[in-house]
């Protein structure tokens, strides 16, 4: 691969294809359609490949919905925690399904969305998440409708519902038991509807995941309740397909060696900071006795990618590549400290490497006023 100035995000279409083939397999065996969750990944330079395997996109805001419609095609699902009137007027132009977070919003905009395919998000009161920050059923959650009686009274206004109750759930048995609970609790409502979205957060592309059982479960649920099932893969679609490539700028010492790279968790991999995770290190990969903290170059004291034990010490000029850098990274990148924004680079199916987008000072200035 030719030398490219760091930092940059590197997407590998061949690795992306592995996930996409699994998504297609799930549809063929279960009948469940999949729409890409743009809140996780909106990098449209690889949409030509992805649209061959997914049915469309789902969004969390009006700009994402417009992007999905214009750049991806297929079905465009539009959900938001809160719409305003201008959003609704715009969404009518390109959203196939408009999903409301509350019954109050559904009723408020019902006159303006007459004839549209409408849905609401339901909070079933249970969820799967390793983090309270991302738990959709956390205490005092604002996400989705909890009032079952009121929901049934409003059933005539909707054609579908969304249950987004998972976050990084790779436990099939947990998902299966929760799906049974949904069927039991809301079966009478589902019988009146056309579709149901089970949201994202299901890690069914993980190696070893019981796909046959997963597909059978989805198919049985769809047949029993007479609904088209949708999945909303985000990280499941792109996990393992992206890296953040950086260079060590300096190594300082404070009881332990601290390597400083030319990127930042705050600006370029924000979820690492929010969820206090240890970023997966791809290069260097060899483990050994040399302990090191790899940190970003922002002024934030906690700007740390992780702690590692390496075979050889890191030195200035060494490349460091972090894995799982496609999801919730490029959609969250920012100009904190005025640091250079990582370029977006794609390794195509042919092996050709494309520098798709580079960012400079003009982009920094244009983001402000």
- Predicted confidence band of residue 1 (pLDDT cuts 50, 70, 90): low
Domain 14-238 has CATH 3.20.20.10: yes
List, for residues 39-83, the tens digit of each pLDDT value. 999 999 999 999 999 999 999 999 999 999 999 999 999 999 999
Q: Model pTM?
A: 0.95
Overall average pLDDT of the 171-186 stretch: 97
Q: Which of 155, 204, 151, 146 is nearest to 29 (CA)?
A: 204
pLDDT at 121 over 90: yes
- The Cα 356–Cα 345 span in angstroms is 5
Side-chain-side CA neighbours of residue 166 (13 Å): 27
As a whole number, the mean pLDDT across the chain is 96
Mean pLDDT along residues 223-246: 97
**Helix, strand or coil for residue 261?**
strand
What pLDDT is recorded for position 3?
86
pLDDT digits (tens, 9 = 90+) for 332-352: 999 999 999 999 999 999 999
For the chain, the structural domain boundaries read 14-238, 240-366
**pLDDT at position 261:** 98
Phi-psi region of 123 (alpha: psi -120 to 50; beta: other; left: phi over 0): beta
* Spatial contact of 355 and 345, defined as CB atoms under 8 Å apart: yes
Partners of 100 in the β-ladder:
120
Token digits of residue 79: 């959900």
Q: What's the gap between Cα 295 and its chain centre?
A: 24
CA separation for the pair 54, 39 (Å, rounded): 16
Q: Is residue 62 exposed (0-12), middle (13-18) or buried (19+ Cβ within 10 Å)? A: buried
Q: Which CATH architecture has domain 240-366?
A: Beta Barrel (2.40)
pLDDT for 138 equals 94
Q: Which helix (H) or strand (E) holds 90?
A: helix 85-91
CB neighbours of 194 closer than 8 A, spacing ≥ 6?
159, 160, 227, 228
Beta bridge partners of 76: 57
CB-based burial of residue 60 (10 Å sphere; 0-12 exposed, 13-18 middle, 19+ buried)? middle
Instruction: Report the share of the chain in percent with pLDDT over 90.
Output: 97
Structure tokens, 98: 């408009």
What's the whole-number mean pLDDT along residues 191-214? 97
pLDDT band at 176 (very low <50, low <70, confident <90, very high): very high
Neighbours of 263 (CB within 10 A): 31
Check pLDDT > 80 for residue 2.
Answer: no
CA dihedral (286, 287, 289, 293) in degrees, to 10, reads 100
What pLDDT sits at residue 286? 84
β-bridge partners, 162: 121, 197
């Amino acid at each position: 691969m030719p030398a490219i100035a760091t930092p940059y995000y590197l997407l590998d279409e061949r690795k992306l294809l592995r996930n996409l083939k699994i998504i297609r397999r799930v549809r063929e065996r279960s009948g469940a359609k999949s729409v890409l969750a743009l809140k996780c990944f909106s990098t449209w330079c690889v949409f030509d490949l992805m649209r061959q395997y997914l049915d469309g996109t789902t969004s969390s805001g009006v700009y994402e919905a417009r992007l999905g419609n214009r750049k991806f095609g297929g079905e465009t699902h539009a959900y938001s925690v809160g719409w305003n009137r201008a959003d609704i007027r715009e969404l009518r132009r390109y959203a196939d399904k408009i999903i409301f977070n509350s019954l109050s919003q559904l009723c408020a905009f019902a006159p303006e969305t007459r004839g549209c395919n409408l849905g609401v998000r339901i909070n079933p009161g249970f969820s799967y998440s390793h983090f309270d920050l991302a738990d959709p059923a956390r205490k005092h959650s604002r996400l989705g409708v909890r009032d079952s009686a009121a929901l049934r009274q409003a059933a005539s206004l909707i054609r579908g519902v969304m249950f987004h109750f998972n976050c990084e759930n790779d436990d099939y048995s947990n998902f299966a038991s929760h799906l049974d609970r949904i069927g039991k609790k809301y079966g009478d409502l589902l019988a009146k509807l056309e579709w149901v979205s089970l949201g994202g957060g299901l890690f069914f592309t993980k190696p070893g995941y019981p796909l046959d059982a997963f597909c059978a479960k989805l198919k049985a649920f769809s047949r029993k309740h007479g609904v088209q099932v949708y999945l909303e893969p985000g990280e499941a679609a792109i996990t393992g397909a992206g890296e953040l490539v950086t260079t060590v700028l300096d190594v300082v010492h404070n009881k332990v060696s601290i390597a400083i790279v030319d990127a930042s968790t705050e600006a370029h991999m924000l979820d690492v900071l929010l969820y206090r995770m240890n970023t997966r290190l791809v290069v260097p990969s060899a483990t050994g006795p040399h302990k090191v903290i790899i940190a970003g170059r922002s002024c934030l004291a906690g700007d740390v990618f992780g702690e590692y034990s390496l075979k050889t010490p890191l030195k200035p000029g060494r490349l460091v590549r972090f894995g799982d850098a496609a999801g919730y990274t490029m959609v969250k990148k920012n100009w904190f400290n005025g640091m250079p924004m990582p370029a977006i680079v794609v390794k195509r199916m042919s092996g050709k490497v494309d520098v798709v987008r580079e960012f400079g000072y003009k982009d920094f200035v244009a983001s402000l006023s």
